[in-house]
Amino acid sequence: MSQLARWVRAHPANVVVVPMNVVRVVSLHEMFAIGTEGLGACSAIVIASSHGAIVAHIPPRPTASASDPYAGDNNVRRLMAEATTLYMRYRDEYFASHTDTVIVCALYQGAIALPDQVQIMHSALRRLGPSVWTYNVPGNIPIRDKELCSPSVAAGSPPLGFSMMVALGYTPDQQLLQM
C-alpha cells in the first residue's frame, strides 16, 4: 500500500487525490495531504512547502486516440501553465517560505521515457524560483500486484521536525523523502 493510500485510509476527508490530467492546490493547514497515484508512464510534479502544495498528474498524451504528434508536449505546456497560475496565485500564502519542487518521471529501459516533456516541466518550474529535483521512477516494472507497486507521489502535513514530506512509492518498499 502506498503512503498516499495510507493517508487516504487514515484521513479520508482530508486527503486530495489528484486524477490524471489534472492540477490541484491545497492548504496543508486545512488538508492533511495531496497526491496522485497510478503514475505508470505518466509524470507528476509537486510544489510543496509546510503551508501548501500543488500536485499535477501529467499523462504522456492527453488521450489515447490523440493523432497529433505534438499533443503530449502541448498538454504538458497546458498543465504547467495551470500549475504556474496556481503557484503565482498562492505564492505569498503558501510558497513564501522554503519550498521544494519535485518532478517525478518514468524511465523506460533505463532512460527517461519522455525527455522533451520533462524539459518542458523543468523549464516552467525553474522560472518559478524554487530548486527543482527530478526523480526517475521505473515505468515498466514487471510486477504481479499492481496495487503493491503502483507509482504514486504525495505531499503531506509534516511530522515533527520536518518542513514537509513527499512520499514516492514505486516498489513494495516505499521511498519517503523528508524535506
Task: Give the residues across from 15 on adjacent strands.
Answer: 33
The fold adopted by the segment(s) 3-178 is 60s Ribosomal Protein L30; Chain: A; (3.30.1330)
Residue 148 pLDDT level (bands cut at 50, 70, 90): very low
In this structure, are residues 136 and 153 in contact, taking their beta carbons and an 8 Å threshold?
no
Please tell me whether residue 78 adopts helix, strand or coil conformation: helix
**Grid coordinates of 148:** 503493491
Give the pLDDT mean for 72-94. 97
Q: State the DSSP H helix or E strand holding residue 59, giving kind and residue range, or none if neither.
A: none
**Grid coordinates of 140:** 515498466
How much is the pLDDT for 33? 86
Residue 149 pLDDT level (bands cut at 50, 70, 90): very low
Each domain of the chain, given as residue ranges in start order, spans 3-178
Q: Which of 28-32, 55-59, 162-166 has the highest mean pLDDT?
A: 55-59
Does the pLDDT of residue 100 top 50, yes or no? yes
How much is the pLDDT for 89? 98
Q: What one-character-per-residue DSSP string does 85-115 give?
A: HHHHHHHHHHSSS--EEEEEEEEETTEES-H
Does the pLDDT of residue 134 top 50, yes or no? yes
- Cα 74 to its chain centre, rounded Å, is 18
* Average pLDDT across the chain, whole number: 80
The percent of residues above 70 in pLDDT, for the chain, comes to 77
Q: 49-53, 71-75, 111-115, 122-126: which has the minimum mean pLDDT?
A: 111-115
* Four-point Cα dihedral 107, 5, 18, 155, nearest 10: -80
Q: 94-108, 124-138, 147-161: which has the minimum mean pLDDT?
A: 147-161
